[in-house]
Amino acid sequence: MKNEILQLSPQNVFTNFYQLNQIPRGSKKEEAVVDFMVEFGKKLGLETLVDDVQNVLIKKPATVGMENRKTVVLQSHLDMVHQKNATTNFDFNTQGIDMYVDGDWLRAKGTTLGADNGLGVAAIMSILESSDIAHPAIEALFTIDEETGMTGAKGLKANFLSGDILLNLDTENDAEIDVGCAGGIDISAKRSYTETAVNNNTTAYQITINGLSGGHSGMDIHLGLGNANKILNRLLYETLPFNYGISTINGGGLRNAIPRESFATVVVSNTTKNDFIAKFNTVANDIKIEFETLEKSLNIYISETQLPATTMDLETQKKFIKTVYAAHNGVYRMSPDMENLVETSNNIARVTVGEGTIEIACLTRSSVETSKMDVANALRAAFELGGFEVTFSGAYPGWKPNMNSSILKTMTTVYEAMFQSKPNVVACHAGLECGILGTNYPDMEMISFGPTILGAHSPDEKASIRSTQKFWSYLLEVLKNIPQK
C-alpha cells in the first residue's frame, strides 16, 4: 500500500503525509514528531525555532515578486487522536499508521488515520520544500497538543510570530471557509464508594456496548449518534429494581471523541437474575430500534463471567446511576445567529468504576462563553448532588467571526473564480486554535479551511483524495493572491 499512497496526487502532499504518519505523535507525546519537524526545517536550510512548550516555527522568505505581500502564518497541529477498534492489535507509541486507499478515500486499518491535522501539516511541509510555488513570506507554525488541551496554542508567546494573516489548515469540509469556532472546558467528577463483598448466591455478567460510530465530539455532536456511556447507564437505570451490584465500568476514552464502547461487570442475585436479563434484553432491543437508522452496527449484549470479589455499595450505586442519567449529553442549544450551527453542547466522554473510585470526564463546548459556563455549572450541580467532587480545567476561548476581513474577501473571490460556486462561510462547533492564538495576536486576520475528512477522532476516519487535490490547488491560488502590505 505504501507505493500506492506515494503515487497519489498531489504527490508531494501525500508523500509528506505518509512520512509524517510513520512518526508516533499522540497528544502530549510529540517529542519524536517535534524532532522530525526540526530536522525537516534545518535540512531545507530554513530558520527553525522551537519555543518553550515545543511549538515549531519554520520561516521561509517570499518568492521573487511576492516580497511586498503580507506575511502569512500557515498553521496546523502536530498531534493526532489515538483511537482504535477493540479488536485491533496496534501500539500507537511505536508503530506508524497503517494506511490504505479505498476508492476516493484514504483510510487506516482499525485506527484513526491522523488526517486531522496531518494533511494540513503535510501541505505546509510541501510549500516549505518547494522551489516553484509562488508565495509571500511564510511562517509555518506547527503546534503541539491541540487535541487534549491546546497547550501549544496557549503557551505561544505574543512575540513569536510576526505575520499579518493566519491560515489554519484544520477544518474538514472543502466547501467551507471557517471564520469562528467554539470554546471549551473540561469537567471532571470524582467520588469514592464502599466496596461490598460478593456472596455466593449470585451470578456475574459482562455487559458490552460496541459497534457505535463515535466521531468528533464537536463536529459530529449534532448527528445524534449513540454515546456508549449514556446507553450503558440507561440499561443500568432501567434494571435498578433487580438487586444487582456494579463491580467495574470502563466506558469511552478521550474527551473529544464520542464514546463508541463501554463495558461493565455486574453481579446479580440468583433470585432475580432471570427478571434482570429479561428487562435488560427488552431495553436493549428498544435502544437498537431507536438507533437503527444512525447506528446500524450497534451491539448490546450480556454474558456470564467470573464472579469478582467486590461490588459498589447500593446507596452510592443508585446515586451514581441517577447522576449520569441526569447529566446532559449532546446538543444543548443551537445558534440563533448562524443557521445549523451548534452553539453549546456536552460530551460525557469517559466513565470508569473500580477499586472504590468513580470518575467521569466531560467536554463542554460553546461559541458563547456564558452559555458554556451555564452548561458547565449545570453539570457541576448534577454531579455534586450525586456526591462527586467536581473540577473545571483546560478552558479555552472561542473565536469570534470577522466577516469584514480582507483575507476572507480574497479567499471568497478566489474560490468563486476557481470552482464557479460560492463557498460556505461558517463557524464550527469545534475547538480551533484560532480563538486562543487571537488572544495574543488580536490584530491578525484568521481563516480556517481544509480538505474533506469524515469520522475524525474515530477508527472510521477517512480523507477524500479528490478533496485533498481541490484543497491543495485552492491553497496555492490563495497564496498567489495574498494582499499587499
Domain ranges, ordered by start, for the chain: 2-182+398-480, 185-396
CA angle 395, 112, 450 (to 5 degrees): 70
Which residue positions in the chain have pLDDT lower than 50? none
List 30, 79, 176, 445, catalytic entry: 79
According to the model, what pLDDT value does residue 430 have? Answer: 87
According to the model, what pLDDT value does residue 86 have? Answer: 84
Active site residue 359: no
According to the model, what pLDDT value does residue 189 have? Answer: 98
Q: Residue 342's beta-bridge partner residues?
A: 334
- Whether the Cβ atoms of residue 14 and residue 8 lie closer than 8 Å to each other: yes
- Whether the Cβ atoms of residue 371 and residue 344 lie closer than 8 Å to each other: yes
Residues 153-179 pLDDT 10s = 999 999 999 999 999 999 999 999 999
Residues 380-399 pLDDT 10s = 999 999 999 999 998 988 88
Type and span of the H or E element at 330: strand 330-334
Q: Is 355 helix (H, G, I), strand (E, B) or coil?
A: coil
Written as nine digits, the cell of 79 is: 498531534
Count of beta carbons in the 10 Å neighbourhood of residue 28: 12
Count of beta carbons in the 10 Å neighbourhood of residue 409: 12
Type and span of the H or E element at 302: strand 299-305
Select from 416, 365, 57 the least CA-distant residue to 184: 365
For the chain, the C-alpha Rg in angstroms (whole number) is 24
Q: How many residues does the chain have?
A: 485
Q: How far apart are the first and last CA of the chain?
A: 45
- Whether the Cβ atoms of residue 302 and residue 277 lie closer than 8 Å to each other: yes
Q: What are phi and psi of 181, to 5 degrees?
A: -155, 170
Q: How far apart are CA 421 and CA 289, in angstroms?
A: 40
Count of beta carbons in the 10 Å neighbourhood of residue 191: 20
Active site residue 146: yes
CATH topology classification for 2-182+398-480? Aminopeptidase (3.40.630)
List 116, 139, 145, 146, catalytic entry: 146
Q: Would you tell me which CATH number, out of the four given (3.40.50.1370, 3.40.50.800, 1.10.287.70, 3.30.70.360), belongs to the domain 185-396? A: 3.30.70.360
